[in-house]
Homo-oligomer: A and B are copies of this chain.
Amino acid sequence: MSFPKIDETHDAALKSWVPGADGHTDFPIQNLPYGIFSPSGGAPRAGVAIGNHILDLHQAGAAGLLPCDVVPATRQPTLNALFSLPAASRLALRRTLSRLLSEERMRALVEPMLFPADMCLLHLPAAIGDYTDFYVGIHHATNIGKLFRPDNPLLPNYKYVPIGYHGRASSIRPSGMPVVRPRGQRKLPDADVPVVGPSTRLDYELELGIWIGTGNMLGAPIDIADATDHIAGFCLLNDWSARDFQAWEYVPLGPFLAKNFHSTISPWVITSEALAPYRLPQPGRPDGDPQPLPYLLDTADQAGGAFAVTLKVFLSSAKMREAGLAPHQLSHGQATSMYWTAQQIVTHHASNGCNLNPGDLLGTGTLSSPDPEGFGSLMELTQGGRNAITLPSGEERLFLEDGDEVILRASAVAEGHVAIGFGDCVARIVPAR
């Protein structure tokens, strides 16, 4: 396992000449996340976020400012080619960008390639070939399990298998796109037959997304010691869920229409390189838990496979916005609640020979904390829709209402380092058709 190292690009003293890049921003010079954007009226292109601006990577490459081997990837309207670059090339690109955006002598050359972010449209960063959602947030799995099996919330396979299932790639949308409340079948507990209509138990799920970098060939597993090289970066993921549909449809083959109507991701790819300073040892397993099976065990991964990333969920209702109330924080959580690391997830996924491709997206599953302040879904916060929460407007919520806007945010924090953020993952519920 060779995690990206802390280098001069992470130096807390480093400053960008870009106005506004050094204040309270998710995107200081130490972050440098990639995305796909359109300047007003322009074609989609690769960019890097810096403060409230976006640097056009296509222009920078065409001007000869970037390493030669990454230039072809910067010409694409998706980041798939950039994700598939070798780790050394990705690192060289980061170091070059760090210099371009911090050295004052570069300013005259680079400044014309910057666009104000609020004038740009952000797209999905990659063409997502396959999307897989995992279930590695152990507190979420425990909370949900308790609703059904109070004495035995976790199933016997949970501590051996990073549980996951395939999701729908086509309905993943970037932050900002409205979510149409889905219609579908639900059966009330005391009813004989299901009814069809708009979901009455629409929920969010707070997750991290993992972007696959280089892939593997069909039939060729990924060793846990190599898994980090296959991870291009991370994003926020809201795995919208219709709990009423889910309860009725999910046996025996898992969630389907309860999930695949829409998933929202934050559009910026927080790279593995950017996250180097925020690595943590994987939390020790509680006494009595089994060790990971050998194919999932790596001492370097245990020493640095977790992240000091804090996640938060906010809700803003239509009434709150009318009243000028700020979004209300519903929850906060920690990426350390992942029972399996990103590397273990990737290695498990490919362990049977399944081939991952650049631009595939993996979700961690909901990242809840054990305490109610850290519950990552309404299903948990309201105990399955039994106990309403109250918003600052006085409104109550068991599940999401039309007009509700859910905002996911996250930041990585480490002593002696500048905090970096993930950018907002936001979407508003609009009425069913």
Give me the interface of A with B, judged by CB distance under 8 Å. Answer: 129-130, 132, 135, 155-157, 160-161, 163-171, 173, 180, 182-185, 187, 193-194, 196, 218-221, 242, 245, 248-257, 260-262, 290, 293-295, 348-349, 351-357, 360, 433
Q: Considering the complex, give the chain B residue whose CB is closest to the CB of A172.
A: B218
Contact between B351 and A257 (Cβ–Cβ < 8 Å)? yes
Given contacts A160-B185, A171-B218, A253-B163, contact A352 B245 (CB under 8 A): yes
Determine the distance from Cα of A218 to Cα of B157 in the docked complex, in whole angstroms. 35
Q: Given that A352-B242, A352-B261 are contacting pairs, would A290 and B218 also be in contact in the complex, using a CB cutoff of 8 Å?
A: no
Docked pose: A168 CA to B221 CA in angstroms: 16
Known A129-B169, A170-B357; further 11 A-B contacts with Cβ < 8 A: A130-B168, A130-B170, A135-B253, A157-B248, A166-B168, A168-B354, A171-B354, A180-B218, A196-B294, A253-B254, A257-B351
Among A187, A194, A257, A293, the most chain B Cβ lie within 10 Å of the Cβ of A257
Query: What are 22 A-to-B residue pairs whose CB atoms are below 8 Å?
Result: A157-B248, A160-B185, A160-B187, A161-B248, A163-B253, A164-B256, A166-B166, A166-B260, A169-B169, A170-B356, A170-B360, A171-B353, A182-B353, A183-B353, A196-B293, A219-B261, A219-B433, A250-B252, A252-B254, A254-B255, A260-B352, A261-B352
Tell which of B166, B194, B220, B221 touches A256, judged by Cβ atoms closer than 8 Å: B166
Shortest distance in angstroms between A179's beta carbon and chain B's nearest beta carbon?
Answer: 9
A135 contacts across to B, CB distance below 8 A = 253
Q: How far is the CA of A247 from the CA of B171 in the complex (A)?
A: 29
- In whole Å, how far is A135's beta carbon from the nearest beta carbon of chain B? 6
Residue from A252, A256, A352 with most neighbouring chain B CB atoms (10 Å): A352
- Residues of B near A293 (CB, < 8 A) are 185, 194, 196
Contact B357 A180 (CB under 8 A): no
Q: Residue of B at shortest CB range from A128?
A: B129
Closest B residue to A161 using CB positions: B249
CB-CB under 8 A from A355, the residues of chain B are 170-171
Given contacts A155-B251, A157-B251, are A257 and B352 in contact (CB under 8 A)? yes
Supposing A130-B169, A357-B170 touch, asked if A253 and B161 sit within 8 A by C-beta, the answer is no
Contacts of A161 in B (CB 8 A): 185, 194, 248-249
